[in-house]
Amino acid sequence: MNVLLSKNQLAAQASYAEFFGIKIAPLAAQIDREEQVPESIIKQLSTAGYLGAILPEACGGLNLDPVTFGLLNEEAGKACTSVRSLLTVQNMVGAVLNRWGSEPLKNKFLPQLTSGTRIAAFALTEPGHGSDASSIEMQVTEEGSFYVLNGTKKWISFAQIAGLFLVFGKLNGKICSLLVPSGAPGLSVKPINGLLGARGCMLGELHFKNVRVPQTHLVGNVGFGLFPVAFTGLDIGRYSIAWGCVGMAQACMESSKLYTKNRKQFGEPIANNQLVKRMLSEMAVDIKAARLLCFSAGKYMEAKKREAFGEILAAKYMATKMLKSASEASVQLHGANGLSNEYPVERFYRDSKIMQLIEGSDQMLQLMISKYN
């Protein structure tokens, strides 16, 4: 992989590995246990510029190219799924706002997103509508110079701490997207806890009861809320998740290699067992394959090719499947210890299931891949 990266990308990769390995990875178990990302970590991410990784430098972002952004997500995923998810959502909303927002909206909110003054949330999913986003029921009506929102959103990452929601609803049957600040009268957030994995993502259920926002908070035009506005964010999300899965699988493999080297049975390390070698080698090859698909998607994105959409779908689908297999094998190689939260593979195994559902389930991606590839 190194021969495919520029010197700047290799240097960035090394700095990301150091940052997440030292500052984030040691806290991953705590984040999982306490089901929240500490404010101190958010401040460190902000100081490093990662909250605006793909946003313009003029608003405090790093303006990373897609491949370098992918490397950031790989190292973040390797350390902590929930922290990587925070970077994902913040950059998803930021990318949508930067691409489709008005200049006043960008000038007001983008610096707040890059600085971490406001944490963002991408409010698309509803209790009855996930994959079928075109059937969302959030109602938007006009009232003078305001839009009024009524409805419910569910499974919204970081809703518990978000200061700004990108909300998708229907105005006269047409999908639109609106920026809704937290604290708006009529908006309430119900925390969702006790998830199988990605427990630090601080999910919430949003309830809108006659929530009024200025019509100037419209992002894009009415009727374009799903295509292309939402899909601008979803592309970023799927791409970020794919790289994050590669990082998670890499962490599983490294943990497994160390464990099997030190674990002795029948008088020798279990790493000497041929079946163990087979499991590790399959893991290594699958990780390399997924990483190359992610790299390919990044290059298509950088070149702004139409094929980028299909490449992102393929990368996300392959990476989530690969992670499921790798994390399961890692737990198996750890034996009973793999079931204990004293070892990180237990957490990665739980987190892997979440990756197969968010930003498009594996089955939904299969349908989309058959159409676009």
* Active-site residue identified among 75, 311, 346, 359: 359
Question: CATH 2.40.110.10 in the chain, residues?
Answer: 120-217
Give the per-residue pLDDT at 317: 98
Q: How far apart are CA 23 and CA 17, in angstroms?
A: 10
Active site residue 359: yes
The H or E element that residue 328 is part of is helix 308-334
Q: Are 306 and 312 in contact (CB under 8 A)?
A: no
120-217 architecture in CATH?
Beta Barrel (2.40)
- Rounded-to-10 torsion of CA 316, 59, 31, 327: 20
Q: Which fold has domain 225-372?
A: Butyryl-CoA Dehydrogenase, subunit A; domain 3 (1.20.140)
| Token digits of residue 99 | 């691409």
List every span in the chain annotated with CATH 1.20.140.10: 225-372
Q: What is the pLDDT of residue 1?
A: 73
Q: CA distances (Å), 126 to each of 131, 165, 269, 343, in order? A: 10, 14, 50, 35
Domain boundaries for CATH 1.10.540.10 within the chain: 2-115
* Residue length of the chain: 373
Q: At what angle do helices 274-302 and 308-334 cross, to 10 degrees?
A: 160
CA–CA separation, 103 and 96 (whole Å):
13
Helix 344-355 with 81-100: angle, nearest 10 deg = 30
Q: Which of 350, 362, 356 is nearest to 80 (CA)?
A: 350
Residue indicated by tokens 């938007």: 140
R_g of the chain computed on alpha carbons: 21
Cis peptide before 228 (omega within 30 of 0): yes
Report whether CATH 1.10.540.10 matches the domain 2-115. yes
Instruction: Write down the pTM of the prediction.
Output: 0.97
Q: What are the CA-CA distances from residue 279 to residues 192, 260, 267, 286, 313 (Å)?
A: 36, 11, 21, 11, 27
For the chain, 373 residues long, the average pLDDT of each consecutive 10-residue run is 92 98 98 98 98 98 98 98 98 98 98 98 96 94 98 98 98 98 98 98 98 98 96 98 98 98 97 98 98 98 96 98 98 98 97 97 95 80
Assign 332 to helix, strand or coil: helix
